[in-house]
Amino acid sequence: MRKLPFSMKQHHKQSDRLKDVVESFPKLTVIVVGDLVADEFLFGEISRVSREAPVLILKHRERRLAPGGGANAVYNLADLGVNVLPVGVVGDDEPGKLLIKAFRHKHIPITGVLKEKGYTTVTKTRILAGMTHSSRQQVVRLDREPSAEPSQHLKRELVLAARRYARASDGLLISDYGYGAASPQILSAIRAKGGLDRLPVTLDSRYRMLEYSGVTAATPNEPEVEEAMGIKIGQDWSRLISAGEQIIGRMGLESLVITRGRDGMVAFNRRHKPLDIPIYGSDEVADVTGAGDTVIATFTAALAAGASTEEAAHLANYAGGIVVMKRGTATVSQQELLHAIETSPPATRSH
């Protein structure tokens, strides 16, 4: 029997280990404390230019609503086979009811999703236009948001729900889109009295990553890192590494993954040198909507399964590469992830 070269053996070993991690997902339970968002897509066919103003008139063809923000992270975990427990707030309105219906459809428990009269479910409406048989282009986005953060009473209920769930969970994901259901204060309250002693806590925070403490890992994209650190990275590798190491130090993280769009991602670990991982699949991206939710969902599931930073980052990279090839807010299934590992061994770039 012909012996495999050492590098190929290593690749086989790595791939087998990644497959083992993915196959263990159904044994895991992960809590998501997040800002639950409804992503609405309105599709219209261009018929003519309006006489009232220089704008297109669209004939309405289709409406679709998908879980977005923290709700998309929940959906991604469910599609990876993980038992997921969402904690968040929706309004007693149509988008809120549709989000709860979507969770029920996937058999996701909803006891931690609080429904509040008078609260507006965060809804992001994207209007897309196109001709018959042509691709559809987003022309405008309309955001409906609550006028204020959830009340103190609701925040206390969110903390209590997360604490109850923590007793039977393997990980906690914080999905903070800035609407108040997943703030640094809420995480601190959940942590109080040893509520999260043994759980890995992962963070995806749009605007205030550095305000959190007691987090195991974070997955910002490069523009979020630039904004948080007040720098411009561009193609400067040493500046990127310096920023990553500073964030790990300031936040006391075990792991950090910085996503870089078509340049893939860089994984940092306190004990190893950073790992530069090229994008999986094509860099001809179809749609990046919600890709960050897919990355953190996969990364969290992998850490909860006992994966190393490197292994979790490779899996998150596969998932991110798969999801950006899909239109709209989308998810990656456990089978798609396993197929990606089988057909393409994990790759890194040296510096």
Instruction: Report the amino acid identity of residue 5.
Output: P
Look-up: residue for tokens 């590992």? 341
Per-residue pLDDT of the chain (351 residues; tens, 9 = 90+): 444 444 556 667 888 999 999 999 999 999 999 999 999 999 999 999 999 999 989 999 999 999 999 999 999 999 999 999 999 999 999 999 999 999 999 999 999 999 999 999 999 999 999 887 777 889 999 999 999 999 999 999 999 999 999 988 999 999 999 999 999 999 999 998 777 878 999 999 989 999 999 999 999 999 999 999 999 998 889 999 999 999 999 999 999 999 998 889 999 998 888 999 998 876 665 556 668 899 999 999 999 999 999 999 999 999 988 888 777 667 888 899 999 999 988 889 887
243 contact partners, CB below 8 Å, separation of at least 6 = 225, 226, 229, 231, 233, 258
Q: Write out the catalytic residue numbers.
A: 293
In whole angstroms, what is the distance from residue 103 CA to residue 110 CA? 7
pLDDT value of position 72: 94
In whole angstroms, what is the distance from residue 270 CA to residue 151 CA? 38
3-class SS of residue 273: strand
Q: What is the pLDDT of residues 273-314, one digit of tens each?
A: 899 999 887 666 555 666 889 999 999 999 999 999 999 999
The phi, psi pair for 103, rounded to 5°, reads -65, -45
pLDDT value of position 286: 55
The 10 Å Cβ neighbour count of residue 167 is 7
In whole angstroms, what is the distance from residue 245 CA to residue 270 CA? 8
Render 161-191 in DSSP notation, one character per residue: HHHHHHTT-SEEEEEE-SSSSS-HHHHHHHH
pLDDT value of position 1: 40
Domains of the chain, CATH where assigned: 7-37+67-121+147-343 (3.40.1190.20)
The 10 Å Cβ neighbour count of residue 219 is 30
pLDDT value of position 13: 83
Q: Say if residues 35 and 70 touch (Cβ distance below 8 Å).
A: yes
Look-up: residue for tokens 């007793």? 167
pLDDT value of position 328: 67
pTM summary value? 0.91
pLDDT value of position 6: 45
